[in-house]
Structure 1
Amino acid sequence: MMGKADLIDAIAGTNRGLLASEQQKQAILVAIANLEDLNPTPCPVEASNLLNGDWRLLYTTSRGLLNLDRVPLCKLGQIYQCIRVNTTSVYNIAEIYGLPYLEGLVSVAAKFEPVSGRRVQVKFQRSIVGLQRLIEYSSPESFIQQIEAGQKFTAVDVPINSDTQQGWLDITYIDNDLRIGRGNEGSVFVLSKT
């Protein structure tokens, strides 16, 4: 049976799934399912001490995220999901790199609501797309502080209708430093706590 180290080894070198062959994808999904069976946290949504914090994406099958790497002259940098349990907020942040001084950022802010011990309903509220320099982006933490302070950015900064833009996420594994989730569009996410 594969454990955490085996999953990390399986996803190494796949660049979050961008470079994974079909054979690697299948092996990773098996390793994920095996690890989910060993979830040490029966009700992940209730484990706020584990859930809260900044998570870096290690692997995903999400086409929406992986397609950000297909924009001409751009490469996908780090992707973060930052969860603030006390405000039921989640911030998805993707760093984009390309031409010098034109590094970008794609971010979505949302609210989440627990609906079971492992599922959260997610309602998207705000999208921010722009250049890191104009946004004065230095880290996910400082960026989130700016958002929470109500700052408007020199970027495409628009509200999202949360009645029409929502989804759910099942947290199928969580411990002190690893989280696995499965989304309503069939995507799988493996993240490590930063």
Structure 2
Amino acid sequence: MKSEIEGLVKQLESQNPTPDPTVNLEKVGGCWKLVYSTITSLVSRRTKLGLRDFISLGDFYQNIDIAKGKAVNVIKFDVRGLNLFNGRLTIVASFKKASKSLMNVFRKNYDILLGIFNPDGWLEITYVDDTMRIGRDDKGNIFVLERSEENLI
């Protein structure tokens, strides 16, 4: 199933209607809901206190404010057995766009640059249209998001 989804993602990326999303940032801005990811650390890693046994993670959202250069990531959760106890974890990150040539240099020399600059990580938007966004991070993870009307801020 995972390889089928990744194959479909590659097909979509090859048909990207917005070849350079950083030039068309208005397509990237707004609220997005995560619908698929290859990242496993969010669901498989246990905390030292065993909180995964009690906390159930819900939807993941990302609200991108182009004007402020901020991405607000929201993870909804609830505590199993306590229907009245739920909440959300909000993480605010700043971003700046990198030129295509800079990204190519960075990709080719990632290990060397990592040692020099020690970046927090990067995400390349590989597909975006009016309703869907696909990205790949520096660790090779794929993220598929759909546009959402959720008001998180």
1:94 alignment partner, one of 75, 78, 83: 75
**What is the Cα-based RMSD across aligned positions, in Å?**
2.4
Contact 1:80/1:94 (8 A) holds in 2: yes
- Quote the offset at 1:103 in angstroms: 1.2
Please tell me whether residue 34 in structure 1 is matched to residue 11 in structure 2: yes
Question: Normalising to structure 1: TM-score of the pair?
Answer: 0.60
Q: Name 1:110's counterpart in structure 2.
A: 93
Gaps of 5+ in 1: 1-23, 121-162
- Quote the offset at 1:164 in angstroms: 6.1
1:82-120 deviations in Å (ceiling 9; x for gaps) = 100000000111101222232132221111010125998
- Quote the offset at 1:68 in angstroms: 7.3
- Quote the offset at 1:180 in angstroms: 0.1
- Quote the offset at 1:175 in angstroms: 0.2
Q: Name 2:147's counterpart in structure 1.
A: 193
Distance 1:117 1:193, change over 3 A: farther
- Residue 71 of structure 1: SS of its match in structure 2? helix
- Residue 109 of structure 1: SS of its match in structure 2? strand
- Quote the offset at 1:61 in angstroms: 1.0
Distance 1:102 1:171, change over 3 A: same
Q: Name 1:176's counterpart in structure 2.
A: 130
Q: Which has the higher contact order (CA 8 A, sep 6+)?
A: 2
Separation in 2 of the partners of 1:118 and 1:175?
Answer: 23
Separation in 1 of the partners of 2:60 and 2:144?
Answer: 11
Contact 1:44/1:118 (8 A) holds in 2: no
Contact 1:43/1:118 (8 A) holds in 2: no
Aligned residues: 129
Separation in 1 of the partners of 2:101 and 2:146?
Answer: 18
Q: Name 1:62's counterpart in structure 2.
A: 39
Q: Name 1:76's counterpart in structure 2.
A: 57
Separation in 2 of the partners of 1:73 and 1:65?
Answer: 15
Alignment of 1:141-180 (within 5 A): 166-180=120-134
- Residue 87 of structure 1: SS of its match in structure 2? coil
Task: Give the counterpart letter for 1:62 in structure 2.
Answer: I
Separation in 2 of the partners of 1:164 and 1:105?
Answer: 29
